[in-house]
Amino acid sequence: MTEREKVKLREERKIPLTPAEERFVAEYIKCGNITKAQERSGYIGSGSALLAKPNVQKRIRKIMRKLEKETMATAQEVMEYFTAVMRGEISDQFGLDASLADRTKAAQELAKRTVDIENRERGKADSVVEIKLNWRR
């Protein structure tokens, strides 16, 4: 059995992490440093070898996706924010309306995204592909 087949078999089995591995993963996500994660979690073993395991990588991805959903703004939220600023519906921390420059900047940012989306839907891209052929005889 090849190494690739062994890895696939392990992934299919969906082997759960041990409590020590879970603690290590949690600490690794917090600090991003293998050595510190080992010290803080009390994990004994090779942290880099643990991070190479497919079930550990899958667990990290799952936790990161959950954190992103909880903390990061969605594209819809960003578009709504730019629209509200452009319309003057949002005040600053002192209760003052957004300046004309801020409203214009929000409109520009909104237009960039809107135009980009519309161009993609029509099959027009902002990027240009240049192909050079050097024919030699």
Shared-domain flag, residues 14 and 60: yes
How many angstroms separate the CA atoms of 89 and 97, rounded?
Answer: 8
pLDDT of residue 89: 92
The answer as to whether 136 is a domain residue is no
Shared-domain flag, residues 21 and 67: yes
Shared-domain flag, residues 108 and 55: no
The answer as to whether 126 is a domain residue is no
pTM of the prediction?
0.49
CATH number for 10: 1.10.10
Quick one: pLDDT band at residue 84, thresholds 50, 70, 90?
Answer: very high
Q: What is the pLDDT of residues 3-62, one digit of tens each?
A: 777 656 655 566 788 898 999 999 998 888 888 998 899 988 888 888 888 888 888 888
Q: How many domains does the chain have?
A: 2
Q: What is the pLDDT of residues 95-108, one digit of tens each?
A: 888 888 888 888 88
Shared-domain flag, residues 80 and 61: no
pLDDT of residue 53: 86
Structure tokens at 129: 């592909």
Instruction: Give the position of tokens 């041990």.
Output: 18
Higher pLDDT, 77 or 131: 77
pLDDT of residue 123: 63
Shared-domain flag, residues 44 and 94: no
The answer as to whether 124 is a domain residue is no
Shared-domain flag, residues 89 and 47: no
Instruction: State what percent of residues in the chain have pLDDT above 90.
Output: 9
Quick one: pLDDT band at residue 132, thresholds 50, 70, 90?
Answer: low
The answer as to whether 128 is a domain residue is no
Q: How far does Cα 104 stand from its chain's mean position? A: 29
DSSP-assigned states of every residue in 30-88:
HH--HHHHHHHHT--S-HHHHHTSHHHHHHHHHHHHHHHHHHSPPHHHHHHHHHHHHTT
State the residue range of the domain holding 33: 3-71
